[in-house]
A and B are shown apart, each in its own frame.
Chain A
Amino acid sequence: KAGVTQTPRYLIKTRGQQVTLSCSPISGHRSVSWYQQTPGQGLQFLFEYFSETQRNKGNFPGRFSGRQFSNSRSEMNVSTLELGDSALYLCASSLEDRTSTDTQYFGPGTRLTVL
């Protein structure tokens, strides 16, 4: 069974631009969560989608948005990029709603650099 895939793996953008990242979950998984990982703040929860609906949201500004398609694939978008948005963006999928007993499987991440 293929794992979680994320595209692109690396991305360089300049301030003010916008970016769209893509995540394909493990086949059969309906929940997709997004995280931002930086050396200073660690891994922080962005949002979770389940059945095309945002179920949970972390404490990030509205420039960060996402969506989920009927095939469970998900995209996240960051508008008006800032230098501080440089990070590793991780996607994780799980079978059902995100609960403590439901294993999340992470993708390799997209490394975003904002210049």
Chain B
Amino acid sequence: TQLLEQSPQFLSIQEGENLTVYCNSSSVFSSLQWYRQEPGEGPVLLVTVVTGGEVKKLKRLTFQFGDARKDSSLHITAAQPGDTGLYLCAGEVPGGSYIPTFGRGTSLIVHP
């Protein structure tokens, strides 16, 4: 059983569309991170959210951490082909040494 469930698994959209991807869990996380991974490369950290209800913006990307710190969402406005990639969420379960748990990711393709 995956601790972090990401949805949708795949997303194929046209340039200019908006989209939201989700990261859900039954566990509470101390913090949650979003990464983007492009083919042939390792993941690159986009943002870390720590406080329940927190909203962070990174240009056209908006990240939200759920009030109960069990879920998060990533919203992209006016997607561009450069947004294409695998979006991964990763969480830290409170109380122990940091062993990050990753979701399987959402594979996004933005067509020009």
Contact = CB atoms under 8 A, between A and B. Distances in A.
Nearest to B32: A100
Interface in B26-67: 30-31, 33, 40-45, 48, 50
Contacts of B50: 100-101
B102 A42 contact: yes
A45 interface: yes
B40 A42 contact: no
Given A98-B98, A100-B48, A92 B42 contact: yes
B45 to A, nearest CB: 5
Interface residues of B, number: 24
A55 interface: yes
Most chain B Cβ neighbours within 10 Å, of A100, A104, A108, A109: A100
A42 B103 contact: yes
Contacts of B90: 43
B97 A43 contact: no
Most chain B Cβ neighbours within 10 Å, of A42, A104, A109: A42
Contacts of B104: 41-42
A44 B102 contact: yes
A98 B96 CA distance: 12
B88 interface: yes
Contacts of B33: 100
**Ordered nearest first, which 4 A-B pairs have the shortest CB separation?**
A106-B42, A42-B104, A100-B31, A43-B102
